[in-house]
Structure formats: structure tokens, C-alpha cells
Structure 1
Amino acid sequence: MAEATERTGADRALKAGHRAMWARGDYPSVAAEIIPGLGRELVDAAGVGPGDRVPDVAAGTGNAAIPAALAGADVVAADLAPELLETGRRPAEQRGARLRRQEADAEALPFATAPSTPCSPASGSWSPRTTRRPPANCSASAGRETPSVC
């Protein structure tokens, strides 16, 4: 039991550090300058449209969530750093994108996704532990009912 408690404490410390790092950096500029069109390309490639449920895991400022919402999808933008979600609120509102934002740990999502929903963030990083596999409720194969562009 003591070992599990130590891992839990270490896990909390690791995630707190990563949250602080993402909040302290200038990810909004990186997204705007380096990958500005990637979200739209992912939405188009996945065929996202009205009625699709799209969980954008590690959403950051919404570079994939916003185009998915504009395509008519029901979008939940989730990120470990609420500061990034808040930074993305203004561009989403300016563009007329309606989406839900939720602070969430990608390794333990607090909402259900369909078993066939792939969860692979546009920026390529969803977990502070790069050796970990995506959560059980995310898979590598796309399902038409719930395409994901995370």
C-alpha cells in the first residue's frame, strides 16, 4: 500500500509540474506560428461534421477543437492546463465555435468516449510519460460515429 501511495504522490507531482510548464510557456504562439492549419487539416481528413462527437484530448488552445466545432461537431476540449483552455476561449468565440472546455488528465478522462474513438493530439503530446499508452477509452482506429481530431 505504501508503494501505491508513493506512486500516487509522484504521479500528482509529475502532473503538477507538467501543468505548470504548459501554463508558463507560450504554447498559444507556438500553435499560431508552427501549426496554424493543422487542426483544420485533421478535421477535414477525419471527415468531421454535424452530429459527430469529438473529444479533443490535450486540446491546448483549441487548434483542432475549434475547427471541429465549426464543422458542426459536438466537441469537448480537454487539457491538463486550464490556462490553455481559457486562452482558446476568445478565438473560439470570435469565430463562432461552440464547444465545451474541461480541465482533464488524458490518462484518466472524466468523460466517456466511444471505444472506437482515437485520441491522438494534434501537437503530438498527450501525456507527461511518453512511454505510457493512451487511456483504454481511446484507440488507434477511427470510427465514423465518433471521429476524433485530438
Structure 2
Amino acid sequence: MRNVVNTEQQEAWNGPEGKYWADHQARWDAVNDGFNERLLDAAGIGPGDRVLDIGCGNGHTSRLAARRADGGQVLGVDLSAPMLERARASAAQEGLDNVTFERADAQVHPFAPASFDSALSRYGVMFFGDPVAAFSNIGGALRPGGRLAFVCPADPERNGWVEAVMSLRAFVPVEEFGTPGQPGMFSLADPDRVRTVLTGAGFRDVETRRVETFGTWGRDGADAAEFLLGTGPGRHFTSQLSPETVDRARATLTEYMRAHEDPEHEGMVRLRSTASLVTAVRP
């Protein structure tokens, strides 16, 4: 990596959180895959296109884009070395030779000007320290008329995993978690903020629309609760508790998850995810 300004994010995604996402690639895809087709359609990817995937993580959207851009090229960038290692291995296993991955901070990385036809991201653009600067840099990598499309969380109260975390409020303060407009996962939850950021970064024709899907979080309530407690937010909250209280919190979360076991999907836990699908064009 040549330049990094989002140093806290680099530390997080190259530590336990990045390893957890890399180790549980299939499970995270089961949570988020419901947005894939709508995101790829919105990006307008076609044969021969050059595509940039921002915050590509384990690279699933990059690999899907590579199939659509047959004869073209896809570059996935992310801060997380563990997740990029997983992305490269998966691409090799699938025999994809038109996708590459690079460890980079998209806010400051020196992309070649006008080198991409489209840029996309699935949940990878919410953590920039300076989002206007970041999207300006991404915009400079797009050709004139190039298209930006991304999915970011919207409406915390309409996201089942947030409701699940809130079930722990009797054990740990979680009231400030998931506040729209604040730094973090929901920094771009407000459509007006999205428009302000993207127009400030030089994009035009900014559009946002709400999209929903149901992701699979576990094979049953206990499995889903254990998975969520292993995430960054889960570890943060349980680190504040005694072992006895952690056991009580786990039981409460398991009860919440059991209420969402879906008999039409073999009893697996299915939670609603609500996101904004954002599109914009570089003039």
C-alpha cells in the first residue's frame, strides 16, 4: 500500500474483524447476497467493461462483476489483507483470469485517471474519514460518463441484525448503536447526506432508492446468535460484561434469533436487511 489515511479502519480490518470476515466468507455472503443482482444491474456492467469494486472484501461482487465483464477487467480494492487473500484464492478456484485484487485505501489510492467504466460497492463505502475526498478520488478513476453504484445500510430500525443487537440493551449500553449520519456503518443512511456527499465529489444524476432482502444468519437460533456475537460489534459489547452476564446475554440473543427461524427455509434464521441502492454518473 502506498498511501493510507483511514488508519483506524486499516487496523480493524487487518485484525480480528478482517480475519473473522475472511474465515466466514460463505456466511457473510449468505447474509448479503440478496443485493448482488440489483447492484450489478445498477452498475450497468457489460462485456469488455473495466470495473472497480470498492471495499471488495472477500471478493464475491468482484467475481460476479468479472463474469459480466467478460473480455474486460475487474479490480477489487480493500484495506484488509486477510480478506484479499481469501478473494484471490476464490478467484483462482473459480478460474477467473479477468479479476485482480489490490490492498489500497480508495480515498487516496492513485488510480489511473479515467481508467474504469464503472465502480461499485456492496457495503464498502461507509467508513471513509472524508467521504467527499474519497468519492472525488473514485470519480477521477471513472471515464467521463462512467457510472457509480453502491449499496449501503439504511434505516437501522428496519435491519434485523440491529434489532438483534438491541435485544442486549438490558446487559450493555447499545442505544447509540446505528445512528444515521454518525461515523460508522450508518454514516450514509440519510439519502440527503448521500446526495450532498456525491454532488460535492463532482457526481451528477444522484439517485437513491430503498431495497430490502432477507439474509441467512445461521442454521438455527443458537448458531445465529454465536455468529453475531463473534462480529466486531458483538465482541465490543461482550467485552464489557462478566462471563456470567455474557452467558445471560447469549441466551437472550438466542431467544431473539429463534423467533426468526424460518420453517420455509429449513429452520434457518432469516433477518431483514434494508439498504440504499445509490447510483450516480461522472460528468
Give the aligned partner of residue 97 of structure 1: 96
Equivalent in 14, 23, 31 of residue 18 of structure 2: 23
State the shift of 1:90 in Å.
2.7
Partner Cα distance (1:66, 1:116) in 2: 16
Name the amino acid aligned to 2:43.
Answer: A
1:110/1:62 CA distance change after superposition, 3 Å: same
What stretches of structure 1 of length at least 5 have no aligned partner?
A: 1-10
State the shift of 1:12 in Å.
6.6
**1:81–1:103 Cα contact (<8 Å) kept:** yes
Partner Cα distance (1:84, 1:143) in 2: 28
Name the amino acid aligned to 1:75.
Answer: V
Give the aligned partner of residue 138 of structure 1: 138
Partner Cα distance (1:126, 1:37) in 2: 19
Deviations 1:79-128 (A, max 9, x none): 00121111122322233322111000021123225399665521144535
Task: Report SS of the residue matched to 1:100.
Answer: strand
What are the equivalent positions in structure 2 for 1:103-142 lying under 5 Å apart? 103-114=103-114, 119=119, 121-129=121-129, 132-133=131-132, 134-139=134-139
Partner Cα distance (2:28, 2:149) in 1: 15
State the shift of 1:49 in Å.
1.5
Partner Cα distance (1:113, 1:13) in 2: 24
Name the amino acid aligned to 1:52.
Answer: D
Task: Report SS of the residue matched to 2:136.
Answer: coil
**1:42–1:149 Cα contact (<8 Å) kept:** yes
Percent of aligned pairs sharing the same letter: 26
Q: How does the TM-score come out when normalised to structure 2?
A: 0.41
Partner Cα distance (1:116, 1:80) in 2: 20
Deviations 1:57-92 (A, max 9, x none): 111011211011111241111100121111122322
Equivalent in 57, 61, 76 of residue 58 of structure 2: 61
**1:113–1:138 Cα contact (<8 Å) kept:** no
Q: How does the TM-score come out when normalised to structure 1?
A: 0.70
**1:38–1:64 Cα contact (<8 Å) kept:** no
What stretches of structure 2 of length at least 5 have no aligned partner?
A: 151-283
Partner Cα distance (2:90, 2:7) in 1: 31
1:95/1:13 CA distance change after superposition, 3 Å: closer
Total equivalences in the alignment: 139
Partner Cα distance (2:91, 2:149) in 1: 16
The list of structure 1 runs, each at least 4 consecutive aligned residues, that deviate by more than 3 angstroms after superposition, is: 115-120, 142-150
Give the aligned partner of residue 33 of structure 1: 30
**2:54–2:78 Cα contact (<8 Å) kept:** yes
Name the amino acid aligned to 1:63.
Answer: H
Q: Which has the higher contact order (CA 8 A, sep 6+)?
A: 1
